[in-house]
Structure 1
Amino acid sequence: MIDIKISVRNIIEFVHRYGDIVSSTMGASPQRMEEGTRAHVKIQKDRQKENASYEKEQYLKYEILFEDIRFTVDGRADGMVRGSYIEEIKSTYTPLEDVDEDFNRLYWAQVMFYGFMYMEEHKTENILLLLTYFNLDTEVSKTFEKTFTYEELKTFVTETIEEYLQYVREDARWKKERNESLKELKFPFLNYRTGQRELAVDVYRTLRQGGKLFAKAPTGIGKTISTLFPAVKAIGEGEADRIFYLTAKGTLKTVAEEAVEIIRNKGGSVKFLTITSKEKVCLNDEVNCNPDKCTFAEGHYDRINACILDILKKESSYSKEMILSYARKYRVCPFELSLDLSYFSDLIICDYNYVFDPRVYLRRFFVDVRENYIFLVDEAHNLVDRSRDMYSALLTKDMVMEAKKAGEKFSYLKRSLTKVNKKFIEIRKVLEEKGGKQHYFGVSDDLIFTLKDFLMAFEIFQKEVREDFEGREKILDLFFAVNSFLNIAELYNDGYVTYEENSGSNVIIKLFCVYPRDLLIDVFKRAKASILFSATLSPMSYYFDVLGGEEADYRKTLGSPFPKENLQVYLDRGIDTRYRKREESFSGISENIHKMVSGKKGNYIAFFPSYKYMRDVHEIFMEKYGDFFETYIQEPSLGEKERDEVLSLFYAEREKSFVAFMVLGGIFSEGIDLAGEALIGTSVVGVGYPQVSYERDLIKDYFARDNLGFEYAYIYPGINRVLQAAGRVIRSETDQGLVLLMDLRYSWAQYKHLLPEEWLPLRDWKNQNQ
């Protein structure tokens, strides 16, 4: 027996959706949700005054058997008077004179479903249904009434469910095939690597018991397959319903895809989808989801379900190329198609933000959780800074002025933006007296009220002004920024600091999430089990704390699977890279790089803490040794194509050694795989500290209360960068190479204890055998 559970709203919005994709919506803003709630409360109170028997938010459920499928639909009717009527309430800014009975067919479908569920339970022959619209500007309502018989509503509900069952049956057929294949699935390699079975067993145990596992697993163990294999086995055994494989970088998505293909090639039927950003799959020259500008947005919902059914019948996985092909065939938006196909995927490979970011997370899965999810968080060390970004929000006076200038001729926009700008002027005056910066805990209620006023004005603007004009984009940009700011303000807790800063006439205000722990704990509650893994979760206590580890969660630290002698780690403690000594280090660093590259012909990388430091040393190196080697120096802001071109340099045939000068924490210091002879040595200058900044100092001040300020702000993030950079050298059991650390601080106990055990004791570079 297959159990299918779905809400009334979800089945209606899937089966009966129609029309165009609308690019901008207020649906996700806290202001809009608050206004919608206000509309419901107002109507419900008025009804209760009219009739004391009026009941609000009444839960209804309907269950029916279709062959081997038990189908359950449930939801809450906004209001009812038993034996008399059921009501659905909707809020709108559309003038009520423009709202007719057919204003939105989905709303009628929703209340019709509730009507049938009530009649089925109470065995009545007919029912009065009310659909009430409440205008948020005028606070006036308009109600439409229809009477239906039991047979009419039963026919409607039966047809709706049978339509949906087409997709359910295809999905159920697939899941039966999947589960049978996964029962027989064996580990896809002949042997486990050292530590690999241990990791896979711990992952599987966590998936069955629930909770979180923090796993530090060095390069070479095979983390991706060691987490994915037990996860798909858990799905086949009914321990979970869906896997989310979460990455911080696009290159890691490819690694996950390759691991799934290995499982599929060994007979494991797993249907997977990689969510690609809208910009990368758009079939137009530019992303513009206005149905007047995009043929794929126009009428998208009229065609999308036929497209999905065709795919379910014919395809066993969802590649980007396949999605684009069907999108062209059915003339639908490929990005929206991929999101719909996620419903019918066993494994979803996507960026962190689709699960963690409150602005773009997949609400279809996480607003009303009805399944057991598995979160596999790859390179979890990246989640610290990414979560700080995702849970922070920023507004500037310049944004406001640009939008105000663009909306000058719309009086309601001009009025609201003048008020917002006035708030920024007040902040600037205070900052001028305080040296240009200040930070504090909390969010100004006056600012929040003023921003909400702008959102109300913006919604009127969206309804009334459909044509494009110069500057419209600036108004939209401010809308998204304000919407984000208000969303984050709703999350504001003890882990936040608000700071203000002025630069000339501009003013910045930021809600800065310093300590995302509690917010991440809430997100992880959406999953049955979460596995956070990386080669560089060091120190474990730091990542366990910041990323939401709780008392019942598990920790695992594994040693390197490679022979210790394969990687020789040296230290030149005579190099002092601290700021006041930096210039004195240039010559010694240049000489060390020369010695490293001269030792054996091959490819090397020299990593630096900043572009300026790198250029200063590079200049000296080229002057002294440039004729003896081939070199490359990293440029900032490289695109994906340029990045691939640089990586190809490590595979070129050469007569001389090649050395690349690169930046720690950049695109080449992690997430790239230079196996074998592609890279045989790396030097790391400094201890990897992030750049000193106002935000870093706010982090330091915040954690100073636990005497961990400098560690959390600088030392631990810095060491992670060092470990990631050094990890580029040894990628397989046959690789051999060296790492040269250049900074006297590695000989200090507080730094040395953060290094991998297999690196110790560090070899003295001055005594190396050339």
Structure 2
Amino acid sequence: MRVDYDKREIVCSVGDLVHESTYRRIGVERGDGFRRMWIGQDIHSRRAEQRAGEDPKYRAEVHVVHRTTLAGWSITITGRIDGLSVDRDEQRVNIEEVKSIHFDLELEALYRSEKLQRHLYQLLLYAYFLSSQPDFTGFTFEPQLVLIDLVSGDTKIVDTEFDRDRVATTLDTSLAKLIEELETAAALRVAKRAFADTLHFPFDALRPGQEEMISAVARAVYQRDSLLISAPTGIGKTMAVLYPALRQSLKLGKKLFVLTSKTLQQDAAITALRLLNDGSFRVLRIRAKAKMCAHTEMICHEDFCPFAARYSEKMEKSGLLQHLVTSMSYFDPDITFELARDREVCPFEVSLELIEQADVIVCDYNYIFDPYVGLKAYQQENDYGDCVLVVDEAHNLVDRGRGYYSPELHEKSFDDITKHLMTRNCWVEGWEELLELLRAHFHELAQVLEGDVKQALCEPNRELFIDQRTEWERLVLAYIGWKIDNRIAEEDDPLIDFYFKLVKFTNLLAEDGDEFAHMVEKTQDGIKLKIFCKDPSRFLGKIFDSAHATVALSATLEPFDFYRKTLGFPEDRTAELSLPSPFPRDNRKIVVVSEVDTTYKRRADHYDRIATNVADIGDAGDGNFLALFPSYAFLREIAERLPPMRKHVMVQRTDMTDYERNAILDILRNRSQKGNLILAVSGGMYAEGIDYQGDMLAGVMVVGPALPQVSFEQELLKQYYDEQYGAGFEFAYLIPGMTRVVQSAGRVIRSETDIGVIALLCKRFTQETYTRYFPSDWYEESPRELVSRKPALDVRAFFDEKTIKPQLRLVF
């Protein structure tokens, strides 16, 4: 729905009127469930073909527009009639609304439900719109609701009488209610606009760089532009971006989405928003579905979960949504969880209900960018025109974006399905044949993998996968019906899991473009097929292009050209802002150790020398030091060779539990005088995901440029970006690696009083290919200034010169 309050114009769909007061429905998929599956679309197509063969006057999917006025508003209502047959000789109009449902599971309940009345209301509105056109004066209208079984294809017809005056009265009532809600919203919008005019920056003074950020963000939102901001950690980016973005969003009546890749970034955003909020606007934080599940097992279906059963009815009776909206300005997920659990309704679904009521939504990237998780209520044909997007730590979105469009199918899942169904007394016809066909195709594609070749490009049969998708949907419908009948509740079901992966895979097979590669791989568990998205910019760019405005920020968002291209920001309306570090250069010591070589071919010859340097630099100052490595294998080699140290050494492992990770952080917080040395991997939680507050960290050592490991996929990226921009090595390896280096270095100096050391260990850090990505404030005239012949002595001398101990604190 689109509303122009100044012109008093409304453009809405029939669905906006028919479903205006309904709560969400919880099932295999939200919304109308199975009807949205591909099999539902297939049924609609078959019905259209059948009717067109019976009636030459029959037309499918007829668009209709109705215009009217009420209470000073101009209203345009759009809709699409599933089937229309006009007999002008007989002056008779037959209108069909087709609904595909699971007869065994849904038909009986439908006849007793309000949902049936909504379907009939939709059908009657179409009849009314046509009857209002001069061409249909005097015609008789015969509306029919056509119900088709998803499993058998059987059809049931529900006839309804068309009383034009009665429908007109009902429509006026619906529109009057809609206008009342919009005028209430308009009054609230005026109040929020007035609040925005009085909203002031919550601190007495601005830090260096914040004024430039505030002006640039306000201008971008006002002018409907995109803005890329690269500014160092500790400068106060979060508040300097959210303050103007919030002001402008409230003034313009837009929703502000704050999108993050990590929970800690959400904490920072919520802290900033609380400082700005006196209760005049509403903030919603969306927590992951698994963490908001109140049931013993996460089975999102009304027949299996008491918190999903009769959800709409319980929400209506409890008044929970109204209670939350009228009593809170921050929809805390913990409070939402407790209140929803108390009323036995799904906490996660309740949090999604609150989207419409919130002015600011703080959530993970997934809820906007993932095509299967995204908030469909705010994704009407990829239109985010009512949204302002703030993308925090936007450098993380490149890999995340690739992952959204890189589905995989594993042959091992065929065996899992076989084992699963063999233990069930369930007659699901045809699954063995389907798996045999798929397995045969997998092995046919894998014939290119000869000898030691583990991965190769391939061309999957699209038609085969389309057929498989349709057949598996029929099978899944029957299977779910059997599970419901037998009250079998399982959180993990290999058949359902495989089906959804098959749907994603098949959907993306239909995408053409050089940015996709189809791969076959030989693994220990069998053959794997993967669609590898080398460049997600086409898909991410559609979102940025449709959003009212986007602000992307990070301490490492340069070179801007790289992120503008890989993320798909619109060329004609994207501005850039780069800010240097405002912190005293004398408080930071950067040393480059050029005597070691960390390249893959030479690193083994330098393990002992690297270990000695890491130990010597770590012991050169009190406090905690962090040493970061390109891989766990490299890390382990150095850990085994470390000489005895004064510091306690802790090593990150791939299998660490949450308890172990948090225990290390507790040890760092309770810093001993000698301190600790953490050996960890670049790009991991200790390198990017932790805020080292207070005196938790005195120095960081980055061992090697942290380039992505050479692999089949990285080489495909290199080839692709060579062809696109002539910058394959830079885009695939160099920039991602140096981004990690700069991110890691930013762990140390986070305020004007922080003192610390950054050590870069590898001769490549003296080469222009790499040093051109150093921040300009790291040196005065040349990166060669940073090279140290005696790094440990230089580090010790630096700390000896300081009269205060190393100290760090986090600034939001």
TM-score (norm 1): 0.90
Q: Find the partner of 1:495 among 505, 510, 515.
A: 515
Matches of 2:451 and 2:651, distance apart in 1: 44
Q: Find the partner of 2:18 among 6, 9, 12.
A: 12
Give the conservation status (yes or no) of the 8 Å contact 2:35–2:99: no
Give the conservation status (yes or no) of the 8 Å contact 2:765–2:771: yes
Give the conservation status (yes or no) of the 8 Å contact 1:275–1:349: yes
Matches of 2:35 and 2:671, distance apart in 1: 56
Aligned to 2:803: none
The AA in structure 1 aligned to 2:441 is K
Q: CA deviation at 1:596?
A: 2.6
Counterpart check, 1:718 vs 2:737 = yes
- Larger CA deviation: 91-100 vs 192-201: 91-100
Matches of 2:742 and 2:231, distance apart in 1: 12
CA distance 1:97–1:367, change in 2 (3 Å)? closer
Aligned to 2:556: 536
The AA in structure 1 aligned to 2:540 is L
Q: Find the partner of 1:196 among 195, 204, 210.
A: 210
Q: CA deviation at 1:602?
A: 1.3
The AA in structure 1 aligned to 2:594 is R
The AA in structure 1 aligned to 2:15 is R
The AA in structure 2 aligned to 1:578 is T
Structure 1's unaligned 5+ residue stretches are: none
Q: Tell me, what secondary structure is at the counterpart of 2:160?
A: strand
Counterpart check, 1:262 vs 2:283 = no
Q: Find the partner of 1:595 among 586, 599, 616.
A: 616
Give the conservation status (yes or no) of the 8 Å contact 2:40–2:100: no
Q: Tell me, what secondary structure is at the counterpart of 1:525?
A: helix
CA offsets 1:656-697 (integer angstroms, 9 cap, x no match): 222211111111111322134221211110111123322222
Counterpart check, 1:763 vs 2:786 = yes
Mapping of residues 663-742 of structure 1, within 5 Å: 663-705=681-723, 706-742=725-761
Q: CA deviation at 1:150?
A: 3.4
Give the conservation status (yes or no) of the 8 Å contact 2:81–2:96: yes
Mapping of residues 58-207 of structure 1, within 5 Å: 58-61=63-66, 65=70, 73-80=77-84, 84-92=93-101, 94=103, 104-105=115-116, 106-118=118-130, 128-135=142-149, 141-157=155-171, 160=174, 171-172=185-186, 174-207=188-221
Q: Find the partner of 2:45 among 4, 28, 38.
A: 38
Matches of 1:218 and 1:358, distance apart in 2: 32
Mapping of residues 338-487 of structure 1, within 5 Å: 338-368=351-381, 369=383, 371-407=385-421, 409-432=427-450, 435-440=453-458, 444-466=462-484, 467=486, 468=488, 473-487=493-507
CA distance 1:74–1:331, change in 2 (3 Å)? farther
- Larger CA deviation: 155-164 vs 416-425: 155-164
CA distance 1:96–1:510, change in 2 (3 Å)? closer
Give the conservation status (yes or no) of the 8 Å contact 2:192–2:251: no
Aligned to 1:658: 676
Matches of 1:66 and 1:735, distance apart in 2: 62
Matches of 2:513 and 2:706, distance apart in 1: 30
CA offsets 1:112-136 (integer angstroms, 9 cap, x no match): 3434555567798995422123456
Counterpart check, 1:57 vs 2:100 = no
Counterpart check, 1:554 vs 2:575 = yes
Matches of 1:347 and 1:639, distance apart in 2: 33
Q: Tell me, what secondary structure is at the counterpart of 2:363?
A: strand
Q: Tell me, what secondary structure is at the counterpart of 1:580?
A: coil
CA offsets 1:201-253 (integer angstroms, 9 cap, x no match): 22222212223222212212222222212211112222x51111111111111
Q: CA deviation at 1:753?
A: 0.4
Percent of aligned positions with the same letter in both sequences?
A: 28
Matches of 1:370 and 1:523, distance apart in 2: 7
Aligned to 1:319: 332
Mapping of residues 327-342 of structure 1, within 5 Å: 327-342=340-355
Q: CA deviation at 1:544?
A: 1.6
Matches of 2:27 and 2:185, distance apart in 1: 26
Give the conservation status (yes or no) of the 8 Å contact 2:258–2:392: yes
CA distance 1:430–1:683, change in 2 (3 Å)? closer
Counterpart check, 1:245 vs 2:258 = yes
CA distance 1:472–1:234, change in 2 (3 Å)? closer
TM-score (norm 2): 0.86
Matches of 1:121 and 1:256, distance apart in 2: 53
Give the conservation status (yes or no) of the 8 Å contact 1:297–1:332: yes
Q: CA deviation at 1:48?
A: 5.5
Q: Tell me, what secondary structure is at the counterpart of 1:76?
A: strand
- Larger CA deviation: 121-130 vs 731-740: 121-130
CA distance 1:414–1:163, change in 2 (3 Å)? farther
- Larger CA deviation: 518-527 vs 163-172: 163-172
CA distance 1:678–1:469, change in 2 (3 Å)? closer
Q: Tell me, what secondary structure is at the counterpart of 1:668?
A: helix
Q: RMSD of aligned C-alpha atoms?
A: 3.2
Q: Tell me, what secondary structure is at the counterpart of 1:510?
A: strand
Structure 2's unaligned 5+ residue stretches are: 87-91, 798-812
Matches of 1:286 and 1:168, distance apart in 2: 40
CA offsets 1:587-623 (integer angstroms, 9 cap, x no match): 32333233333333212111111222222222332x4
Counterpart check, 1:298 vs 2:309 = yes
Matches of 1:471 and 1:316, distance apart in 2: 34
Matches of 1:304 and 1:172, distance apart in 2: 26
Give the conservation status (yes or no) of the 8 Å contact 1:39–1:136: no
CA distance 1:136–1:477, change in 2 (3 Å)? closer
Q: Tell me, what secondary structure is at the counterpart of 1:344?
A: coil
Matches of 1:33 and 1:532, distance apart in 2: 39
Q: CA deviation at 1:582?
A: 1.8
Q: Find the partner of 1:520 among 533, 540, 543.
A: 540
Matches of 1:645 and 1:160, distance apart in 2: 58
The AA in structure 2 aligned to 1:403 is I
Matches of 1:304 and 1:6, distance apart in 2: 26
Matches of 1:484 and 1:19, distance apart in 2: 22
CA distance 1:137–1:657, change in 2 (3 Å)? closer
CA distance 1:47–1:112, change in 2 (3 Å)? farther
Q: CA deviation at 1:506?
A: 0.7
- Larger CA deviation: 443-452 vs 542-551: 443-452
Q: Find the partner of 2:587 among 566, 570, 573.
A: 566
CA distance 1:423–1:130, change in 2 (3 Å)? same
Q: Tell me, what secondary structure is at the counterpart of 1:670?
A: helix
Q: CA deviation at 1:61?
A: 3.6
CA offsets 1:300-356 (integer angstroms, 9 cap, x no match): 011334322332233222111231233134321111111111111111111111111
Q: Find the partner of 2:596 among 572, 575, 579.
A: 575
Matches of 1:719 and 1:443, distance apart in 2: 40
CA distance 1:612–1:22, change in 2 (3 Å)? closer
Matches of 1:118 and 1:70, distance apart in 2: 19
CA offsets 1:39-65 (integer angstroms, 9 cap, x no match): 46436635751x47x684232346564
CA distance 1:640–1:211, change in 2 (3 Å)? farther
